[in-house]
């Protein structure tokens, strides 16, 4: 289908001129986000030097980390030419249940809470994945339904109650703010980065990871190639759900006071991050590091606008423009790539 997809599915071949060229172009896409990120930081800092004060940076990184964790899972789903709209609701449910655990089971270790969050999210993802992949319902429809169902379960569970910051241990609330001693980088930002790199490695080097790209590039070809499509797609949804569950626990740590509206509307922000990060919305190309960087870029821009004293009211409009700009840019790059490839093919006589 798209040329980008062709490149993604062929990296194990002998590096011919063609694959090397396309590889370079694809890498440039991720570098492009880093470039824009650098530019934003540079411009903002040159105007307002306090932008890079350590507190601001820590806050940007921690805040973006939650979105980045969700974006990594969402990117895995979008690469397979599906979409997961339920991540916000799953994160909200996980946030409430997990924060409530501290109240109901005093002394429960934080690790266990994270594990339960991941399991809960993974369970939701499993239902979504089975409905989508086995029952062949379009994922947009399934996850739209799941968005409401999971949120309603949350509402019924919570009732009018809420978990307040006083009911969870202080150490839990500090997870969001803890930094690595000496460097000052927040723990959870490092965690999100490690996660993105690990998933990137999985998706680019493991057969089952490569399968996700194959499915997204051309589902029919993937089926003929013997790829267990339903299994892979379900796995992607389980991962997306589990990561949304973990993000929910992090959200609880950040906000402290959780009611049934926690993380409402996060799904579109997460998909926006993934798209800005260069993952094609119809699957088959892009990578999770880009998606995580997309989340960081969105967070940085919001913060930069604030620092620059741009009227806060226009934040969201800027974000919208940025999303449209990013996909337009991506479209342009892909068109360029396509014509370059075509010329090359002609020259090689392929």
Partner 1 sequence: MEPDTQLSSVASALAGSDGAPGAGPEPLRGRRIGGTLSPLLRWETGLVVLLIGVVIFGLDTSSAFTSDSYLFSQVLGGQVGEIALMTLPMALIIITGEIDLSVASTAGMASSLMGYLFMHHWSIALIFVTVLAMGAVAGAFNGFLVTRVGLPSLAVTIGTLTLYRGIAIGILGANTYSTFPTFWTNIGVNPVPGLPFMSWAFLIFLVMAALVGIVLHMTPLGRTLFAIGANREAAQFAGIRVKRTKFMLYTFSGVVCAFVGILLTFRLNTAVSNNAYGLELTVVATALLGGISIFGGKGTIVGVLLANLVFAGIEGALYLTTGFNESAFPIVTGGLLLASVLIPNFPELRRRAREAVHRRRRLHGAAPSVEQGVSR
Q: Where on the chain is the footprint of partner 1 (CB under 8 A)? A: 1-2, 80-83, 85, 131-133, 135-142, 144-149, 151-153, 155-156, 159, 215, 218-220, 222-223, 229-230, 233, 260, 265, 268, 271-272, 275, 281-283, 311, 313-321, 323-324, 327-328, 331, 334-335, 338
Of 192, 217, 146, 218, the closest CA to residue 291 belongs to: 192
Least distance to partner 1, CB of residue 314, Å = 4
Q: Cβ contacts of residue 50 below 8 Å, gap of 6+?
A: 56, 307
Toward partner 1, which CB reaches closer, 147 or 195? Answer: 147
Least distance to partner 1, CB of residue 331, Å = 6
Toward partner 1, which CB reaches closer, 46 or 313? Answer: 313
* CA atoms of 87 and 307, how far apart (whole Å): 30
Least distance to partner 1, CB of residue 175, Å = 29
Burial 38-62 (b: 16+ CB within 10 A, else e): eebbeebeeeeeebeeeebbbbbbb
Toward partner 1, which CB reaches closer, 40 or 137? Answer: 137
Instruction: Tell me the three-class secondary structure of 60-129, residue by residue.
Output: HHHHHHHHHHHHHHHHHHHHCCCCCCCHHHHHHHHHHHHHHHHHHCCCCCHHHHHHHHHHHHHHHHHHHH
Toward partner 1, which CB reaches closer, 19 or 261? Answer: 261
Toward partner 1, which CB reaches closer, 186 or 277? Answer: 277
Least distance to partner 1, CB of residue 59, Å = 22
Least distance to partner 1, CB of residue 158, Å = 9
């Amino acid at each position: 289908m798209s040329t980008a997809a062709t490149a993604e599915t062929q990296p194990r071949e002998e590096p011919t001129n063609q694959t090397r060229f396309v590889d370079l172009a694809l890498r440039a896409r991720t570098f492009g986000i880093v470039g824009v990120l650098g530019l934003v930081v540079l411009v903002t800092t040159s105007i307002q030097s306090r932008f890079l004060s350590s507190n601001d940076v820590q806050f940007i990184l921690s805040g973006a980390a939650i979105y980045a964790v969700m974006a990594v899972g969402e990117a895995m789903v979008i690469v397979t030419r599906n979409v997961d709209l339920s991540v916000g609701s799953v994160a909200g449910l996980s946030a409430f249940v997990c924060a409530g655990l501290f109240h109901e089971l005093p002394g429960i270790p934080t690790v266990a809470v994270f594990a339960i969050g991941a399991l809960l999210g993974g369970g939701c993802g499993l239902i979504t994945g089975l409905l989508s992949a086995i029952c062949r319902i379009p994922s947009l429809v399934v996850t739209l339904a799941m968005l409401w169902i999971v949120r309603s379960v949350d509402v019924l569970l919570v009732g009018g109650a809420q978990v307040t910051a006083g009911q969870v241990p202080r150490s839990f609330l500090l997870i969001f703010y803890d930094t690595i001693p000496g460097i000052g980088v927040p723990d959870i930002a490092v965690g999100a980065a490690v996660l993105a790199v690990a998933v990137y490695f999985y998706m680019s080097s493991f057969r089952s990871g490569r399968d996700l790209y194959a499915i997204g590039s051309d589902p029919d070809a993937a089926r003929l190639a013997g790829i267990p499509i339903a299994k892979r797609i379900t796995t992607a949804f389980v991962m997306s759900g589990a990561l949304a569950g973990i993000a929910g626990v992090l959200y609880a740590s950040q906000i402290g006071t959780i009611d049934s509206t926690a993380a409402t509307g996060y799904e579109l922000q997460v998909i926006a991050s993934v798209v800005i990060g260069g993952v094609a919305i119809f699957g088959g190309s892009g990578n999770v590091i880009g998606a995580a960087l997309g989340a960081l870029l969105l967070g940085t821009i919001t913060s930069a606008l604030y620092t620059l004293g741009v009227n806060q009211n226009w934040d969201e409009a800027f974000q919208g423009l940025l999303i449209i700009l990013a996909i337009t840019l991506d479209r342009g790059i892909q068109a360029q790539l396509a014509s370059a490839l075509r010329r090359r093919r002609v020259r090689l006589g392929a």
